Amino acid sequence: MDYLQGLNYSQQEAVKQTEGPVMIVAGAGSGKTRVITYRVAHLVRKNVDPFNILVLTFTNKAAKEMRERITKVVGAEAKNIWMGTFHSVFAKILRVEAAKIGYPGNFTIYDTDDSKSLLRAILKEQQLDDKLYNANFVYNRISSAKNNLISPAEYLNNEHIQAEDFSSGRGKLGELYQLYAARCFKAGAMDFDDLLFKTNVLLREHPETLYKYQNKFKYLMVDEYQDTNFSQYLIVKKLAAIHENICVVGDDAQSIYAFRGANIQNILNFEKDYPDLKVFKLEQNYRSTQNIVNVANSIIANNKNQLKKTVYSENETGDKIKVVRAFSDNEEGKIVAEAIVQDRSVKGLKYHDFAILYRTNAQSRAMEEALRKLNVPYKIYGGLSFYQRKEIKDLIAYFRLTFNPNDEEAIKRVINYPRRGIGDTSVERIIIAADQHQLTLWEVIADAHKYLDSRTAGAIANFGTLVQSFPVLAKTHTAYDAALHIAQHSGLLKDLHEDKSVEGLSRYENIQELLNGIKEFSEREDIENKGLDIFMQDVALLTNDDNDKNPNADTVSLMTIHSAKGLEFQQVFVVGLEENLFPSQMSLNSRTDLEEERRLFYVAITRAEKKLTLCYATSRYRWGTLTSCEPSRFIDEIDPKYLELDFKQPQKPSGNPFFDDERAAWSGKPSPAKEDTFGKPKPAAMAKTTSILPKAHVPSPGFAASDTSDLQVGMEVEHERFGFGKVISLEGNKPDIKATIFFKELGQKQLLLKFAKLRIV
């Protein structure tokens, strides 16, 4: 029992309670993995046969780590424990039992690409409109049905589902599901979702098999139980039905995967399934400072739907949590990058001690560019680098062709994307003709009717005409206007907009983010040439990949908050904390969705060990329009005593008419109660505290720049982003006059008049 000495009292009690139903509510950083490890080891030490123990996890990494720790305690017997992810464990069972449900034991497991490839073939055979029946959308629809244990026959016979499909113009979805399932079965293949779906079928239709595994797995443990879906829940419940020696471990406050089908009610209602349940709460956080834990607690307290616990830390109090205001997403990136460089130098930290977390993948662009400019090495986790994503590379390939039509790689990439009837055979004919006549691919394309037969020349000539139209516009328009024109007329924007799958929406958002970056470039006041060719030169430098692919390299980690779950870093920056971004706009119409967004914020906060910084921008570009942003309600839900505002609040000097008391003050008191999204009054404690953070400047109606050729010292002016101010001094000669302006909200700034776009008040 010496291995128990390193555990606190609550951990020890949870480990020793091996019989009957147990729920371990494990707060962030509370030593959850250690408790699971020692609980399994304790069972083996009590002479439970390892073959009778089943441990289910959500990642192979977690299973491997647990097995290694258990081996150190109990030795070689650890290899006999049934331990792994849901999918790996039940695939193993299905290999043995497959014949009972009509599959061969050596069935193939299709990955996502295999599944989508099959669906594309079926859609082509059925001659369906690929805009309505996009393979990604159909795949996600089938996946959702399987996770809810809806078979093809049940799907077709469900009036509600059929009505929903027909109302969206996709009445064939049920038939496609049926065809897809039949083709998989004929090929002796299961997709990823089938591994759980077919296990449920096996246990439901073959009681003797269910009984066999109920008696085999006398002790069950499930990690991250809050992330289980209906299919997983049902399997676990069936297997534990005889002995009821089931232990689930999780934290409802970290349930963030509803979009994958996870059901938080599985953990919230666990006691209803097992009235004799014993609950153990792991509430001591060993990871974070007291201030970080207090902030996390103050946030999650706003959720009504939760298992109550009091997480605490006995670590150092630590720094207050910084709240940083930026005036744009690019400035936000600059502030974060500079803070990393400074703290690394002053505190002797490594780059891998820092993480930047964001709500959506598209937000990585500004962060990446800022880090690159300061030569800070970084790595994108849970996704590709922004400029390496397919949709970004596709649009940039069109930009490359605009300025260099002989770029063969760009031609090959986009000549048939979006689809325009130029297949691989046609491309091969272009290559052959170019070789025969000693020409570039572009020269053949530009004179297609001369070098190619009439069957293929038409579509190729049209592509050539399209590309030839782009340089004319690029020479006379700003980078943004040219980029938007190319995105629209190439058909790329339309293609992505019509893909309504989760992946399609993400790709569409990424293109929006690229165009936002180009828009900001087009409006920079420090450069004169704002053409797309200059932007492309900058991008070429930004996307020059580092050849060092060492996975252990010292790099800053960039990732979405969903990807960060389970990780920890000394310093964490949570960026983009603005209404409609985090929380996301789609979450604001439902209390359930808003509570999940709040849990996501809780997860972000609790990744930090020593220092946490929260960032927001007062403006972002959305489809080329500069949009004012409001700080996230989540910032206002934090007890102000734990916060440090990392920007100077303007104070009202005596006799200065430019300051507004209401916007300058920071009382830290909650605002009067407002209505929530359901039309009911909010409690004062949950009301939006608009006085904590200053609002972004909203330009005056009909804002238009004035002629500033006769601007004088003392004049009052308005800037689209910086707000109202007074001209303090003017220096230099026309056309390069610089104006020093004192802005009410920002203080003193120096602007080049010919680029400043000021409105004289």
Q: Which residues are catalytic?
A: 32-33, 223-224, 254, 607
Q: Residue 423, by phi and psi: left (phi above 0), alpha (psi -120 to 50) or beta?
A: beta
Q: Which two tokens stand for residue 457?
A: 């020349």
CB-CB contact of 244 with 274 (8 Å) = yes
26 annotated ligand-binding residue: yes
User: E strands within 510-667?
Assistant: 556-560, 569-574, 608-617, 619-622, 625-628, 643-645
**What letter does residue 304 receive in the DSSP assignment?**
S
209 annotated ligand-binding residue: no
**What letter does residue 580 receive in the DSSP assignment?**
B
29 annotated ligand-binding residue: yes
Distance CA 19, CA 38 (A): 15
Query: Helix (H, G, I), strand (E, B), or coil: what is residue 221?
Result: strand
517 annotated ligand-binding residue: no
Give Cα 566 distance to the centre of its chain. Answer: 15
**What letter does residue 537 receive in the DSSP assignment?**
H
Give Cα 532 distance to the centre of its chain. Answer: 29
Q: Which of 310, 431, 350, 433 is nearest to 27 (CA)?
A: 310
Residue 54's φ and ψ, nearest 5 degrees, are -120, 125
CB-CB contact of 532 with 522 (8 Å) = no
CB atoms within 10 A of CB 332: 26
| 335 residue type, one letter | I
348 annotated ligand-binding residue: no
145 annotated ligand-binding residue: no
Distance CA 569, CA 474 (A): 44
- In which element (H, E) is residue 335 found? helix 329-347
Return all residues near 545 (Cβ < 8 A) that are at least 6 apart.
none
Strand partners, 249: 24
Which residues carry a binding-site annotation for ATP? 26-33
Which residues carry a binding-site annotation? 26-33
